[in-house]
Amino acid sequence: LVDAKLPDSTYPFRDLSGAGVALKLAWAVGQRLSQRDRVSEPFREFLISATGLAALGTIADVVPLVGENHVLASFGLRALAGSRLPGIMALIEVAGLGRRALEADHVGFMLGPRLNAAGRLGHAREAVELLTTAGPEAARTIARELDRRNRQRQEVERSILEEAEAQAAARFSPDRDAAIVLSAPGWHTGVIGIVASRLVERHWRPTLLIGIAENGHAQGSGRSIAGFHMYQALAACQEHLTNYGGHAMAAGIRLSEAAVPAFRQAFLAHAGKMLGPDDLTARLTADAEATLAEVDLAAARLLDRMGPFGSGNPRPVFAARQVRLASPPRRIGTRGEHLEMRLTEGGCCRRAVGWNLGPAADALARAMSCGAAFTCRVSTFSGRPEVELHVKDLWVGRYGDAIAGKEFA
C-alpha cells in the first residue's frame, strides 16, 4: 500500500491525490528498471504524458493545489493540452475546448464531469476504456457516450434539485433549523452529493440528501459548511445508521428507510447545538479593493501566473464599491441561471459573468448601480484577449446588502 498519508510515511507532501501517488509510483518503477536516477527516453515520454493524466486526477479530485500539487497541475495541464492519447483528444474535442491552453476550470467543470458521469449514472469502466483505448474512432464513440451521460446527469441533477428545493420550502426554516436533511424515493444516489452542494451554496446549512430504494434501503450524501465537522456529526447520530464515512466537509451514509425520520431529528438537534447564528451566515471576503481600471489586461495576465487556481489556491477576489451597469443584465445558460453584463466605472467598461446569479437579474436591473466582488481572468471570448470579470456577488447600498445572500467582509 502506497500513500503519503500513512502513519509511517516520511514523504514531505501529504496531499497528493491517488493520481499523484500513481504517477510517483510509476516514476519510481521507471528509475528502478533503468537502474539509474534518469529514466530511459521512452519511459520519460510516458511520464510526460502521464503527468497530464495525473493533473486531470489531481484537479478533479479537488485536492489542495498547493506545493507539489500546484507544480504537478501546472506542468500537467500543458501535457494534457498537447496529449496524443486518443481518449484525451476525444474528450477535449467533445467538451468543445479545441486545442487551446487548458486551465484548472476546464478540468473541474468540463473534462472531469464527463469522466465522472460514467460512474455516476453507469459504470466507471467506460472512463477507463476512454483513457486506455488506442483507436481514435473508438475514443470518439466513447467520448460522445460520456458526453451524453453527462447531459443526462445534469437533467437528473436539475430534477432532484427542484424536488429538494420544494421540500426545503415546506420543511426548512432558516430561523429554526441549523441543517437540512431531505429524503425521497428514487433520488439517484450518484448525483445527490452534487445537489447537496447546491443547497449548501443557496442556504448555507450543512445538508444531507437521502435517496430511498424500493427495497427499503436508503443511502445519503452530505456536504458541510466551515466550522461544522460532518463526519463527527454522523458519529454523534450513528445509532440510526448502518454505515457512514467521510471527512469534515463531505460524507456518505447508509440506513433503513424506517430510520430516516429519527436520524433527521437527531442530526438537526446536533447541528443546533454546534452552530450559532454567526456560523450560519455566509461570508465573502475580498482580498483587496480595486477599480475596474486597475484590473487591466496586464494585471489579469500577471494574476494568471499564480495559477492553476482551485482548492487551497483560489483566485484573488477584488471588490469595487460603486460600479454601474452599462445596460440591463442578460440572463444566459440553458435555464437563464447565469448573468452576462457590462460593468462601468469612471469611463472603464468590463465584460462580466455572474455564475448562478440569474435570479438576481430583476433586482440588479432596478438598481443599475451596485458594488461588486469579482475575480478576473484573460478571455478570448470576443476573438481577442480582454479582461473578463467573474462576479462572486453584488450588493446594493452598504456592504452586506448582498444580492446573492452573502455577508460581505
DSSP 353-380: EETT-GGGHHHHHHH-EEEEEEEEEEE-
Identify which has the larger pLDDT, 366 or 197. Answer: 197
Residue 354 lies in a domain: yes
Residue 13 lies in a domain: no
Identify which has the larger pLDDT, 70 or 98. Answer: 70
**Cα separation of 347 and 197, whole Å?**
39
23 shares its domain with 149: yes
In DSSP terms, 323 is beta-bridged to 370
CATH number at residue 24: 3.90.1640.30
Residue 254: partners with Cβ closer than 8 Å, 6 or more residues away:
217, 218, 219, 220, 241, 242, 243, 244
Is it the case that residue 406 has pLDDT exceeding 60? no
| Angle subtended at Cα 96 by Cα 95 and Cα 102, rounded to the nearest 5 degrees | 80
Structure confidence by residue, pLDDT tens digits, 366-403: 887 889 999 999 988 777 899 999 999 988 765 445 66
270 shares its domain with 292: no
Contact 52, 22 (CB under 8 A): no
Residue 1 lies in a domain: no
Q: How confident is the model at residue 84 (pLDDT cuts 50, 70, 90)?
A: very high
176 shares its domain with 116: no
132 shares its domain with 196: no
Please compute the mean of the pLDDT values over residues 291-303 and round it to a whole number. 96
240 shares its domain with 293: no
Please compute the mean of the pLDDT values over residues 205-214 and round it to a whole number. 97
Residue 158 lies in a domain: no
Closest CA to 368 of 326, 309, 321: 326
What is the SS3 assignment for 284? strand
The pLDDT value given to residue 335: 86
What values do phi and psi take at 380, rounded to 5?
Answer: -115, 25
263 shares its domain with 300: no
At CB < 8 A and 24+ separation, what contacts does 237-240 make? Answer: 237/263, 237/266, 237/267, 237/270, 239/266, 240/266
Q: How confident is the model at residue 407 (pLDDT cuts 50, 70, 90)?
A: low
Lowest-confidence range among 148-162, 212-226, 300-314, 389-403?
389-403
270 shares its domain with 290: no
Number of domains present in the structure of the chain: 3
Residue 270 lies in a domain: yes
CA 117 remoteness from chain centre: 14
In DSSP terms, 15 is beta-bridged to none
Residue 291 lies in a domain: yes
CATH number at residue 266: 3.10.310.30
The pLDDT value given to residue 394: 87
In DSSP terms, 256 is beta-bridged to 217
Please compute the mean of the pLDDT values over residues 288-305 and round it to a whole number. 96
Is it the case that residue 351 has pLDDT exceeding 90? yes
Sign of dihedral through CA atoms 29, 30, 34, 35? negative
Residue 26 lies in a domain: yes
Lowest-confidence range among 151-165, 243-257, 262-276, 362-376?
362-376
Q: What does pTM read for this prediction? A: 0.86
Is it the case that residue 270 has pLDDT exceeding 60? yes
Give the domain range for residue 51. Answer: 18-153
137 shares its domain with 22: yes
The pLDDT value given to residue 405: 53
25 shares its domain with 136: yes
22 shares its domain with 148: yes
The pLDDT value given to residue 398: 52
Q: Last residue of some domain: 239, 274, 309?
A: 274
φ/ψ bin of 362: left (φ > 0), alpha (ψ from -120 to 50), beta (otherwise): alpha
Closest CA to 237 of 229, 105, 83, 72: 229
Antiparallel, parallel or unpaired: β 180-185 and 207-212: parallel
Omega within 30 of 0 (cis) for the link into 308: yes
Residue 301 lies in a domain: yes
CATH number at residue 354: 2.40.50.460
